[in-house]
A = this chain, B = another copy of it.
Amino acid sequence: MTSLGHVLPQSMHFAEPLPLRSGATLADYTLVYETYGTLNAERSNAVLVCHALNASHHVAGSYAGQARSEGWWDNMIGPGKPLDTRRFFVIGVNNPGSCFGSTGPMHVNPATGRPYGAAFPVVTVEDWVQAQARLLDRLGIDRLAAVMGGSLGGMQALSWTLQFPERMGHALVIASAPNLSAQNIAFNEVARRAIITDPDFHGGDFYAHGVVPKRGLRVARMIGHITYLSDDSMEEKFGRALRSAELAYSTQEIEFQIESYLRYQGDKFSEYFDANTYLLITRALDYFDPALAQGGDLSAALAVARAKFLVVSFTTDWRFSPLRSREIVKALLDNRRDVSYAEIAAPHGHDAFLLEDPRYIGAVRAYFERVAQEIGA
C-alpha cells in the first residue's frame, strides 16, 4: 500500500451556462479536477469522489515540492488502498462556488467585470451533480462504477442516484444524512451570521476592500470544529487540561488547551477559506432535501434510484448521527434496493469518516472488491 505520489490538478472550461435549481444560471465556468489511475478500454472503471465543505478536487496523492500536501482522502485512495487506483480510475472535482480553483465568488463575474462576491448564484447539491456530469461527458465517461462521498459529499452521491440513476453502478454514502436537522441548520446559521455581520465582510464585496472577514471565518470554523468532534473524543484529547500550570484568571487569555486548539483551527482556516464560499456551501447543505418534492416521503423520493449502496455511519457522530443514515437505509429497503450498511463504533465523531478506523476502512475495501469484480477491473 503506497501513496499515489505526485499528482497534478487539471482544469476544464465550460462555455455553456449551467442552469441552477434557483432559476438563475451560472455563466461560463471552469472546473478544476484531478484523476488517478487509468480509465480502462471499456470506460467502466471510473469512480467519482465528491467533496464536503472544506475540501476540494485534491483527494489523494501530493503536490511536488509541497510538504504535507496529501489529498484529504489519501488514506482511502491509492495503489492497494481501499479504492485501489490500480483497478479504478478516480476523479475528484472541485464544485462551483468553492474556493479551490473552480469558478467561485472570488472570480470575475462576466456580467459586471468585478468579482461575484455575494452575487455568486446560490448553488445546490443538485447543481453540483449536474456540473460533475458535464465534466464526465467531456471525459467520455457514460457510466460510473461508483460515486463516493462523506458528509456533504455523501449527499452528492445520494443525489447522483436520483438525478442519473442509469449512469452509475454504486453509491457510497458515508457519514451523511438525507437532509439537515433543525440543529444542523441552526449551527450553519450562527456561522453565517458571524461572517455576514463581520464589518470586513462588506456585503460580500470584501475583495474590493482588500480585507477578509477573518473574525467571522474564525468563529464559523470554531463552531464547525465543535460539531465535527465527539464530546468524548474532545474530552479525551483535551479534557480540562490547562495551558499553564497556574490559572491566569482572565476572560481573554487562553486558559484551557481546548481554547488554544480552537483558536488555532479558526486562525488557520481564516487564512485560506473564502467567506462567500462558506455561506454558499452551508446553504447548499441546508437546502438539500430530496424528500421535499415527495412531501417528506424519503422512500418515495429514493424510488428512482437504481444504484447499489454502501451506507456508513459512526456511532459518536452527533452532526449526522447513525439515525440519519438509517433513514436512508430504511428508504432504500422500502424500495427493495441492494444496500449494505455499516454502523462503525468509532470514537471520533463526524471526523471519523476521514480517519483510519480499521473496521471502516475494511468495509470500504470489501465493497470496492465487489465493485471491481462486477466490472472485471
- Residue positions of A touching B, CB distance < 8 A: 21-24, 118, 121-122, 179-183, 185-187, 189-190, 192-194, 196-199, 215, 218-219, 222-223, 225-226, 229, 231, 234-235, 237-240, 247, 249-252, 255-256, 258-259, 262-263, 266, 276, 279-280, 282-283, 286-287, 289, 292, 318
Q: How far is the CA of A75 from the CA of B256 in the complex (A)?
A: 37
Residues of B with C-beta under 8 A to A256: 182, 185, 189, 286
Q: How far is the CA of A185 from the CA of B252 in the complex (A)?
A: 13
Q: How far is the CA of A119 from the CA of B292 in the complex (A)?
A: 53
What are 21 residue pairs bridging A and B, where the CB atoms are less than 8 Å apart in the complex? A21-B249, A22-B249, A122-B249, A181-B234, A182-B235, A182-B239, A182-B240, A183-B226, A183-B235, A185-B240, A186-B225, A187-B226, A189-B222, A189-B263, A190-B219, A196-B251, A197-B219, A219-B219, A231-B318, A250-B283, A251-B280
Beyond contacts A183-B231, A199-B199: 16 other A-B pairs, Cβ-Cβ < 8 A, are A22-B249, A23-B249, A181-B234, A182-B231, A182-B235, A183-B226, A185-B258, A186-B222, A189-B222, A190-B223, A192-B251, A192-B252, A197-B218, A247-B287, A249-B287, A255-B286
Q: Would B218 and A258 count as touching, CB distance under 8 A? A: no
Q: Would B186 and A226 count as touching, CB distance under 8 A? A: yes
Q: Would A186 and B251 count as touching, CB distance under 8 A? A: no
Residues of B with C-beta under 8 A to A280: 251
Majority secondary structure of chain A interface residues (helix, strand, loop or mixed):
helix
Q: Would B180 and A251 count as touching, CB distance under 8 A? A: no
Residues of B with C-beta under 8 A to A190: 219, 222-223, 226, 262
Query: A219's closest neighbor in chain B, by CB?
Result: B194
Q: How far is the CA of A226 from the CA of B147 in the complex (A)?
A: 34
- The smallest C-beta distance from A331 to any residue of chain B, in angstroms, reads 16
Q: Would A193 and B218 count as touching, CB distance under 8 A? A: yes
Q: How far is the CA of A251 from the CA of B289 in the complex (A)?
A: 17
Residues of B with C-beta under 8 A to A258: 182, 185-186, 189
Residues of B with C-beta under 8 A to A192: 251-252
- Contact for A259 among B185, B234, B239, B240, CB less than 8 A: B185
Q: How far is the CA of A192 from the CA of B237 in the complex (A)?
A: 22
Query: A196's closest neighbor in chain B, by CB?
Result: B252
- The smallest C-beta distance from A247 to any residue of chain B, in angstroms, reads 7
- Contact for A182 among B23, B121, B237, CB less than 8 A: B237
Query: A203's closest neighbor in chain B, by CB?
Result: B252
Residues of B with C-beta under 8 A to A180: 240
Q: How far is the CA of A194 from the CA of B266 in the complex (A)?
A: 12
- The smallest C-beta distance from A85 to any residue of chain B, in angstroms, reads 36
Q: How far is the CA of A279 from the CA of B258 in the complex (A)?
A: 17
- The smallest C-beta distance from A318 to any residue of chain B, in angstroms, reads 8
* Given A249-B24, A251-B279, A251-B280, A193:B222 Cβ within 8 A: yes
- The smallest C-beta distance from A234 to any residue of chain B, in angstroms, reads 4
Residues of B with C-beta under 8 A to A240: 179-182, 185, 289, 292
Q: Would A234 and B194 count as touching, CB distance under 8 A? A: no
Q: Would B262 and A186 count as touching, CB distance under 8 A? A: yes
- Top 10 closest pairs, chain A to chain B, by CB: A22-B249, A251-B279, A197-B215, A182-B234, A122-B249, A182-B238, A190-B222, A189-B259, A182-B258, A183-B231
Query: A254's closest neighbor in chain B, by CB?
Result: B189
Residues of B with C-beta under 8 A to A250: 122, 283
**Residue from the set A222, A229, A240, A286 with the largest chain B CB neighbour count within 10 Å:** A240
